[in-house]
Structure formats: structure tokens, C-alpha cells
Chain A
């Protein structure tokens, strides 16, 4: 029996939409949180499901928040200008998976694909976050005219690491001549385990501006206020941590011991 790669649940109408790709297994939690935020006040309608049995090792189920779940692999209509893809990273056949995504994108006449990610930096939480764009081609770099994106990134994958699935999607999009951009937001390294609402807000503002999402920032502003207040109290009561923050604020690096101590102090603060 030949398995179909995906199943259309209905036939939504789009008007040259963008496709926002949000992997649910993002190591720093940014993508699931962004998905939750933008769909909480504006539900999106699922219109297509990619067959998980082709791309995932289905040798059992994962349990998330006490619930057994299958791998996520769905496309949603958010508006006539925006398609959302929410998916776990496949276990194998990545190229076939990504070409399947692009086949559906072509069916929907998607004009640009956007992914997001986190770039950890040696900086303080009081330093403004920044956005960087990595483009699928020189043509995409020219056509995606977004002044808020840093556009002079030079990078290669360090030894022992692998490219992200977003980078792989960027490359496959380039081969198919579809414009694509990875948007990376900077985040202080010591917030990677607990989340960085300032980074998230910057991404949300970017997506809102480009896709007219009409977001309400009240909740994320509140998260920023609470986190800033807690970190402020931590530096007041722990002079060593204050010293580390000051070093980072003035562009000085921390040594390994200081780095570990700062991460531990911050994680303890937010776990209590």
C-alpha cells in the first residue's frame, strides 16, 4: 500500500500568503511559545496534515504534560495572508519531508517562507535584543526589504554541530526558487533555560508588523516586567551576580567558573 505524504483536510483560500514555520522541538522554547502566543487570541484552522509514519520513528508515543502525543506535523490557515506550519523535527527522510512542505507551500502559492530561532549571546539581559536575517539567496536578501534585520552575518557550523532544520529548509527553498528567511533573535546565554520574554516580544513585533497579526502585548509585557524585577532583586542581594552583570553590560566576558555560577543562580531564581 503506497502511503500518501500528506492529507488535505479542506481547501482553504489564500492570497499569495507567507508561510511561518515553527518547529515544536526548539531547544530554547521560542517557537512553541510564539505559536501559542499568536494563536491564543486568533485560532488558526488546520487544513493539512503530513503523514507522520513516513518521517517519524513511531516506536511508541511521547508524553507531554501528562498526555500521550503523536508527532506534530500540521499546516494551519491563520489568515488569507498567512500559513502556519507547526511540526516536530522528523527522525529521518528530512529532505523528503522538506520537499513535501514546499510542495504544499506551492499549492498554497506561498511567496515567502519565514522561520525563527534563537542566537545565544554573551550579553546582559539589560542589553537590547537584536534581529538577524539569514536569506536563502541573494535574490531573497534583496527582495525581503526589512530594515530591522541585521544583514551582515558570516557563519559556518562549528565542528561537532549540525545545521538546524530551518537552515536545511532555507537551502531546499533556495533550490526551488522560493524566497525564505531565517530570523534569529539574540538572547543572553543565561536565559536559555528559562525563556527570554524580551527576545520573544521582539520576534512577535516583527511578525506582527510583517503579517498584520494585530497582537496584544499585554501578557508578554507583564512577563518582561516580572523577569526584570526578579533579576533586579537578584543583583541587589548577590553582589557577585551584580558584578557579573556589570561585566557583561560593559562588554567584558566571564570566565568558565563565572559563567556556570551565573547560569546556576539565574536558574535557581526562576525555579523557586
Chain B
């Protein structure tokens, strides 16, 4: 079980930003965008074979040339104020066919990621994922931030468009973050690192979908840019986000048209209630709204039932 570091170099006030796949791949898209739009270089990797079954073989002239595994890679991104180590996991290690990491394998992988942060003296660790919310896809997602220490609360409040669990009605600061994007916070705390998870809101009816939700990734990157003093051009992500939003409008319209006429008005009304800012659970207690969400979720839900960040 190993961590491979490609280069030993001195970094300038480094932090680590990590993400694994999850609902809408919100965190992963944000971090991957950061990687692609800054001058990043490979810095290390976690050897995959203790965590994953291989995904592909390549045979040429009857010789096994290659066995490909999901990758877990570190990149170095040099910033003006601080250097950033990005960690991108292609998959969460899982057992017993679960969708997200849990148990010993997840804990072992989290430890290796923290080992890397320790080797390069990172002062803080950020993870990123999704927060399922009572939200319409036309609305700008808020960014829910969960730290692993009280000392970060005031700082989190100072950033734009961020919210804490205690700000959400009915939550009283309680919740859970499933999978490695959450577990890493706990392991970081065990090892003495400050860490926080930055989660973009995704509409509740899209949580089971298998396609990405870049609008939340955009919101996450805006917050991360402010937190890390990054100057990054988010235009491409904004364009993609708009396209997905238009596609969702069309899909929902098609879906509503496919319903019996007596249900169409109720579903439309339910969705319209989600357009109101801010949405609260009370606004969705009406039967028509609840039914609308259930129906839409069913319509989009083509994948497994496992969830990742589900703090709400």
C-alpha cells in the first residue's frame, strides 16, 4: 500500500485541495477545472492495487501490455499567494458493491492523502462535493462549508455565498457527509490538520442523475478562488453550466408533457415553489410539491441509490 512522491521540493505556504467522484461530480469538476486551467504538474500518486479492481486490460500480439486501474493522483499548482497540491481520485475505494467509500479501505486511502499533506507541510486541507438542497436549477447554488474545527467558523462566514449547516432551517448544525470527501475531514482532524469541505448545492430532484451539474462546481470554484486568493478564469465553466441549465429546462418540460394532464399543473407548481429564494422545508410540505419532486427524481434517477454528501 503505497504513496509515490515524484519530486521533493520546497513549497510556498502550501494547502491541499482534494476531491473524489460524487453526486453530480460537483467537487471533481471544480478541481479538474482548476487543474486544467492553471499550470499544474504531476507530483505523486497512490498505488491503486490495494484499493481497486482493474478496469481494463490491453493485449497486443498476445502479450499483456497494460492493466489499467482507477488513478489517485497529486498535482502541484504554483500560486501567487500559496502553492496548492491538488488531489484527484478517479474512484472512491469501495467494498461490497457500495457506491461510496467506507470502512478500512476508505480510511487507509484518507491516511495516505494526509501523509502527502504532511510530507509537504500543508497548512490546511480542502475537500469538495455536493450538498443536496431544496433548490431549483435556475437558482444560483449556495456553497455549504463544513469545517473540522470551530476556529474556522468566523473565517467561513467572511466569504461570499457560503453557508454553514447551522444556517439551514431545521438542521441545527447537524448532518453527515458520506464518502471520502467527508471522511478526509475526520482523518485530518485526527492527524492535527485544519480542514473544510466545500459543497455546492444540487437540486434534490437531480441527486440520482448520472450527468454532471457544473453550475454547483462553478459556485464551489468561486468560493475556493476567494479562499485561496486564486485568479482563475471561470468563463468556460459558466458557459457549460448555462448549457446544462438549458438542457434541464428542456428535459423537465418534456417530462411534464409526458405526465397525465391532471398531474402536469401540480408538478409545475411544485417546481415553481423551488424557484423562491430561500426555499425552506415548510414551503414544500404541500402534497403537490412533494409529489412533483418524487416524480422528477424518479425520472432522472437512473443510477444507484448511494449518496455522497447528503447533509440536508
**A interface residues with partner B (beta carbon < 8 Å):** 57, 91-96, 132-138, 140-141, 149-157, 162-163, 167-168, 170-171, 174
Q: Which residues of B contact A141 (CB under 8 A)?
A: 61-63
- Which of B54, B61, B96, B105 lies in contact with A171, CB distance below 8 A? B54
Residue of B nearest to A167 (CB): B57
Point out which of B50, B54, B64 has the most chain A C-beta atoms below 10 A from its C-beta: B64
Whether A153 and B96, one on each chain, are in contact in the complex, defined by CB atoms closer than 8 angstroms, is: no
- Which of A91, A136, A151 lies in contact with B64, CB distance below 8 A? A136
CB<8 Å pairs between A and B, sample of 18: A91-B96, A92-B95, A92-B96, A92-B105, A132-B62, A133-B62, A134-B62, A134-B63, A135-B63, A136-B64, A141-B61, A153-B62, A154-B60, A155-B59, A156-B56, A157-B56, A162-B54, A170-B64
B53 CB-CB contact with A under 8 Å:
yes
Whether A151 and B61, one on each chain, are in contact in the complex, defined by CB atoms closer than 8 angstroms, is: yes
Bound form: Cα–Cα A96–B105 in Å:
13
Q: Which residues of A contact B63 (CB under 8 A)?
A: 134-138, 140-141
Q: Which residues of A contact B64 (CB under 8 A)?
A: 134-137, 167, 170-171, 174
- The verdict on A168 contacting B58 (CB below 8 Å), with A92-B95, A95-B50, A162-B53 known, is no
Bound form: Cα–Cα A167–B83 in Å:
41
Contact with A along B53-95 (1 / 0, CB 8 A): 1111111111110010000000000000000000000000001
Bound form: Cα–Cα A155–B62 in Å:
8
Dominant SS at the A interface?
mixed
Q: Which residues of B contact A133 (CB under 8 A)?
A: 62
B49 CB-CB contact with A under 8 Å:
yes
- The verdict on A135 contacting B57 (CB below 8 Å), with A57-B96, A95-B49, A163-B67 known, is no
**B interface residues with partner A (beta carbon < 8 Å):** 49-50, 53-64, 67, 95-96, 105
Whether B67 and A171, one on each chain, are in contact in the complex, defined by CB atoms closer than 8 angstroms, is: yes
Whether B50 and A96, one on each chain, are in contact in the complex, defined by CB atoms closer than 8 angstroms, is: yes
Least Cβ–Cβ distance between B296 and chain A, in angstroms: 27
Q: Which residues of B contact A93 (CB under 8 A)?
A: 50
Q: Which residues of B contact A162 (CB under 8 A)?
A: 53-55
- The verdict on A153 contacting B59 (CB below 8 Å), with A91-B96, A135-B64, A170-B64 known, is yes
Least Cβ–Cβ distance between B207 and chain A, in angstroms: 23
Least Cβ–Cβ distance between A115 and chain B, in angstroms: 12
Q: Which residues of B contact A174 (CB under 8 A)?
A: 64
Q: Which residues of A contact B95 (CB under 8 A)?
A: 57, 92
Bound form: Cα–Cα A9–B67 in Å:
34
Bound form: Cα–Cα A132–B61 in Å:
11
Q: Which residues of A contact B58 (CB under 8 A)?
A: 155-156
- Which of A132, A152, A155 lies in contact with B57, CB distance below 8 A? A155
- The verdict on A150 contacting B62 (CB below 8 Å), with A57-B96, A91-B96, A92-B95 known, is yes
- Which of B54, B61, B105 lies in contact with A154, CB distance below 8 A? B61
Which 3 residue pairs across A and B have the least CB separation, nearest first?
Answer: A95-B49, A171-B67, A155-B59
Point out which of B53, B63, B67 has the most chain A C-beta atoms below 10 A from its C-beta: B63
Least Cβ–Cβ distance between A175 and chain B, in angstroms: 9
Least Cβ–Cβ distance between A145 and chain B, in angstroms: 13
Q: Which residues of B contact A171 (CB under 8 A)?
A: 54, 57, 64, 67
Given contacts A134-B63, A152-B62, A155-B59, 11 further A-B contacts (CB under 8 A): A91-B96, A95-B50, A96-B50, A135-B63, A154-B61, A155-B57, A156-B58, A162-B54, A167-B54, A167-B57, A170-B64
Whether A135 and B67, one on each chain, are in contact in the complex, defined by CB atoms closer than 8 angstroms, is: no
- The verdict on A94 contacting B96 (CB below 8 Å), with A137-B63, A154-B61, A167-B64 known, is no
Residue of B nearest to A154 (CB): B60
Whether B67 and A167, one on each chain, are in contact in the complex, defined by CB atoms closer than 8 angstroms, is: yes
- Which of B50, B57, B96 lies in contact with A156, CB distance below 8 A? B57
Residue of A nearest to B56 (CB): A157
Whether B59 and A156, one on each chain, are in contact in the complex, defined by CB atoms closer than 8 angstroms, is: yes
Residue of B nearest to A140 (CB): B63
Bound form: Cα–Cα A107–B15 in Å:
46
Q: Which residues of B contact A157 (CB under 8 A)?
A: 55-57
Bound form: Cα–Cα A132–B59 in Å:
12
- Which of B54, B59, B96 lies in contact with A168, CB distance below 8 A? B54
Residue of B nearest to A91 (CB): B96
- Which of B53, B56, B57 lies in contact with A94, CB distance below 8 A? B53
